[in-house]
Every structure is written in C-alpha cells, then in structure tokens.
Amino acid sequence: MTKRLILIRHAKSAWDDPLLPDHDRPLNPRGEGAARDLGQWLASRGYVPGEVLCSDALRTRATWEGIAPFLPDAPEPTLKPALYHAGADVMLAVLRHATADTVCLLGHNPGIAEFAHRLVKHPPLSPDFQKYPTGATLVADFGDIDWADAGYGMAEPADFIVPRELVT
C-alpha cells in the first residue's frame, strides 16, 4: 500500500505572555482559524491520516485539535516529545516507527522546513515551500514502502498549502 505523509507546521501561536515558556504557547486567534481552515482543506481533498505523530508542545496539539473535527474518524494524536524543535533526522526517525499508511506529523521550524525539503524528490511549485510558514502543509507520497525504509529524496509532493491561500 502506498504510504502518504501529511507534514504540518503548527499554526500561528501567541506571544502575548513573555513569561510563558515556549513549550506552553497557545495558538492566537488567527492560528485557531488557520487550523480549522486546514482541517476543511484536508477533508475536501480526502487527506485523512490513520495516525498522528505530534510534538507535545501546546501549539502543535492545538493545531491538531482545530483540524481533527473536520476529518472522519480522526485519530487521537500520539504525543512525541522528541518532535519538539526536532531536526530533520529526528523527524525521520520518528516517522520510521509509524504504522498507518497515511501519517500526519506536526512539528516546528526550522526542523520541519528542512525535513520537508530533504524528503521530496523536487519541491512543490510554491514560493512558500522554502520558508515553510506557520500552518504550511505538505502532502507527500512515498510509494509502496515500509515506513522503516523511508528516507530523504524518496517522496513525491502531492500537494502543498499555506493557510493564507485558504482565506476566502
């Protein structure tokens, strides 16, 4: 069965409280709306994960909580502390332990941007792919492999979106 990765950078977070630890920052209102928009977009395209691997930071969890209500049978996220500010190699190691055919991984920059760039055979045709802004979502297909064998340069980009492209 073809393996598909939905790679999401968390939506826009709040910086209102300078005393709040980075790990505990929530989404701001724009980020909350972006997460809902991403959920509707994923559902409209039939991009529904069977497994969600999520950084344990509040903003990544809140991004998934905004997305999930729009997806049929959305799984509960598996919180992965290793994904908090992880680099590309750590993200790949986490992905290699995935079990579902379609996996959603939620993380942070700069690691998630590097991970996206290294995974795909060629970048999607979007000027936003390079910087991978908040809410950026790559859908990448790996073909008929085991996740344990996933590596860099193996994925074909199927779709890419940033939240501001979804605003009507």
What are the distances in angstroms from CA 86 to CA 30, 112, 126? Answer: 24, 8, 24
For residue 60, which phi and psi values (nearest 5 degrees)? -75, -40
pLDDT tens per residue across span 3-23: 999 999 999 999 888 888 999
- Element housing 102 (H / E): strand 102-107
Pairing outcome for strands 3-9 and 137-143? antiparallel
For residue 62, which phi and psi values (nearest 5 degrees)? -65, -35
Distance from C-alpha of 32 to C-alpha of 34, rounded to nearest angstrom: 5
Distance from C-alpha of 125 to C-alpha of 144, rounded to nearest angstrom: 24
Alpha-carbon dihedral 137, 162, 41, 22, rounded to 10 degrees: 60
pLDDT tens per residue across span 73-132: 999 999 999 999 999 999 999 999 999 999 999 999 999 999 999 999 999 999 999 999
For the whole model, what pTM was predicted?
0.97
Distance from C-alpha of 34 to C-alpha of 10, rounded to nearest angstrom: 10
Q: What percent of the chain has pLDDT over 70?
A: 99
- Contact (Cβ atoms closer than 8 angstroms) between residue 44 and residue 30: no
